[in-house]
Amino acid sequence: MAGRNGRTVRDLRRANRTAVLQRLYFDGPLSRFELGPATGLSSGSVSNVVADLVADGLVEEAGSVDSDGGRPRTLLRVAPGSGHMIGVDVGETRVRIELFDLTLTELARAERPLEPQRYDVEVIVGHIRDGITEVLAAADVAPGQLLGVGIGVPGIVERTPARGAVVHGQTIGWEAVPLEALLRSTSRLPGSAAYFIDNGAKTLGQAEMWFGGGRGAHNAVVVLFGSGVGACLVTADVEQGRAVEWGHLTVRVRGRRCRCGALGCLEAYAGAESLLERWREEGGRPPEGTDEETALTAMLAAAYPPGGGAADPSALAVLEETAEYLGAGLSDLINLFQPERILIGGWAGLQLGAGFLPAVRRHAAAYALRHPAEKVTIELGRLGPDAVTVGAAILPLADFFARGGRRPEPVPEGPPPAWRAVLQERAPH
């Protein structure tokens, strides 16, 4: 029966279960007494919800604490083994697959290196399929225990009724690739398995907002700096996060050709791929036959010799120019969205490290409007190279919360609208 606001008793129970699960997840362990004010529920409602969650195996006891003048209070927490998620990062140098328990503790991982420019769709699908099988076997987890598989990909993702998630990845040659349908047709998972596919910059942003440097911020931008560059925007108006194709902002008219085909994109100057290419043009010699990560390590060593020797002037000049382009690109984000924080992640951003940030900050402040520039902080992300896989695993986890701890329906049509509301919470408090 629906009430005046259209909510049924079932909706109310699901919302109450979601509230308790989220507070135990982000702030637990907590006692029943503490859950009342934390969730806004009455003591009776808390007791009923907790009893249901314990009966479902989702919540367990976690010791006790003394109370003022009464019996010790039992602490409760989310049971780690009550569900599992897989996070996948379709990156630029490798495909990384990680299996997590419900508390996002990593249980197993698999990595499949990618040869340069090897974004063949069948190869990627095979890597994901085989990696999922490998991590499940390594942790002895049955496919039926999965809450879902989250996948971060380069490009724009749209959902279609017929084919599920479709990826438009212009920079990697993917044009309307029906990734979800391809995975379903070749996967060894049951047909009821839920796939949650989104832009890699957005999954990075979700991870940093839930568990990393963005926690507590309402307006933030999380930058993915790898072979190319992208960003996830979180503002008061876009609280669930939105991927923005920041790397294809034009920073120089009739400039260098970007891998997307256009001229003058930020990515043509600030991505690791273009950074290394410009070093070669200036006479630099990255080691032959190596991947971009190894080549960037060599460039950094040339620019900043570990033993304090003579620096390679070409490597140093290209890195300084890259810092200016990156700072100028960040200034556009500052002027447009006025974020509290900007976090730089991605393998190249983390590899360049804290020593690169002062120049980036200086250029961002020089190009941005003074007032918003004075209010923003620019830091490295805190979750390291696994941030995209963690963020990808958050997608099925958020859906699980939105369902009040219920597993997906037998044959899902795709992520229900309710999961977006849970992402808006972004681990508050």
- Residue 275 confidence (pLDDT) above 50: yes
pLDDT of the residue at 417: 40
Res. 422: pLDDT tops 70: no
User: What string of H, E and C letters represents the secondary structure of 81-100?
Assistant: HHCEEEEEEECCCEEEEEEE
Alpha-carbon distances of 223 from 106, 266, 292, rounded to whole Å? 24, 13, 19
Distance, CA of 423 to CA of 426 (rounded, Å): 5
Omega of the bond leading into 29 within 30 degrees of 0 (cis) = yes
**What secondary structure does DSSP assign to 224-243, as a single string?**
EESSSEEEEEE-SS-TT-EE
What confidence score (pLDDT) does residue 240 get?
Answer: 60
In this structure, the strands spanning 106-113 and 94-101 are antiparallel
User: Is 94 or 96 the better-scoring residue by pLDDT?
Assistant: 96
What is the spatial distance between Cα 311 and Cα 379, in angstroms, rounded to a whole number?
26
- Angstrom CA distances, 337 to 222, 302, 342, 390, 425, stand at 12, 36, 11, 26, 20
Mean pLDDT on 158-185: 89
- At 195 the pLDDT is 93
What is the C-alpha separation between 388 and 280, in angstroms, rounded? 30
- Judged against a pLDDT cut of 60, whether residue 114 lies above it is answered with yes
Share of the chain above pLDDT 90, in %: 54
How does the average pLDDT of the chain come out, rounded?
Answer: 87
**pLDDT tens, residue by residue, 25-34:** 998 899 998 8
pLDDT value at residue 385:
85
Q: Using alpha carbons only, what angle is made at residue 390 by residues 293 and 230, rounded to the nearest 5 degrees?
A: 55
Q: Taking the model in full, what pTM does it have?
A: 0.85
Instruction: Copy the structure tokens of residue 236.
Output: 């008061």
pLDDT at 418 over 60: no
Rounded Cα distance, 30 and 49, in Å: 14
Residue pLDDT, tens place only, 379-394: 999 988 889 999 999 9
| Confidence category of residue 5, pLDDT binned at 50, 70, 90 | low
b vs e for 198-227, b when ≥16 Cβ sit within 10 Å of the residue's Cβ?
bbbbbbbbbbbbbbbbbbebebbbbbbbbb
pLDDT at 96 over 90: yes
Query: SS3 for 61?
Result: strand
pLDDT for 1 equals: 43
| Per-residue confidence (pLDDT) for residue 215, from 0 to 100 | 86
Dig out the tokens for 334 from the structure.
């500052």
CA distance 31 to 74: 6
Which carries the bigger pLDDT value, residue 344 or residue 426?
344
pLDDT value at position 292? 86
Residue 237 pLDDT class (50, 70, 90 cuts): low
Helix (H) or strand (E) segment spanning residue 415: none
* Alpha carbons 55 and 49: distance in angstroms, whole number: 10
Contact 241, 233 (CB under 8 A): yes
pLDDT of residue 408: 66
Identify residue 362 by its one-letter amino acid code: R
φ, ψ (nearest 5 deg) of residue 417: -55, -25
Question: 111 - beta bridge partners?
Answer: 96
- For 301-319, write each residue's pLDDT tens digit: 999 888 777 888 999 999 9
Q: What per-residue confidence (pLDDT) applies to 410?
A: 53
- pLDDT exceeds cutoff 50 at 12: yes
Contact criterion met (CB below 8 Å) for 75 and 30 = yes
d(CA 345, CA 380): 6
Mean pLDDT for the stretch of residues 116-141:
90
Upper half-sphere CA count for residue 151 (Cβ side, 13 Å): 26
State the pLDDT at residue 28: 81
Position 117 confidence tier, pLDDT thresholds 50, 70, 90? low
pLDDT above 90: residue 284:
no
Contact of 225 with 346, CB cutoff 8 Å: yes
pLDDT digits 0-9 by tens, 82-94: 999 999 999 878 8
For the stretch 325-341, pLDDT in tens is 999 999 999 999 999 99
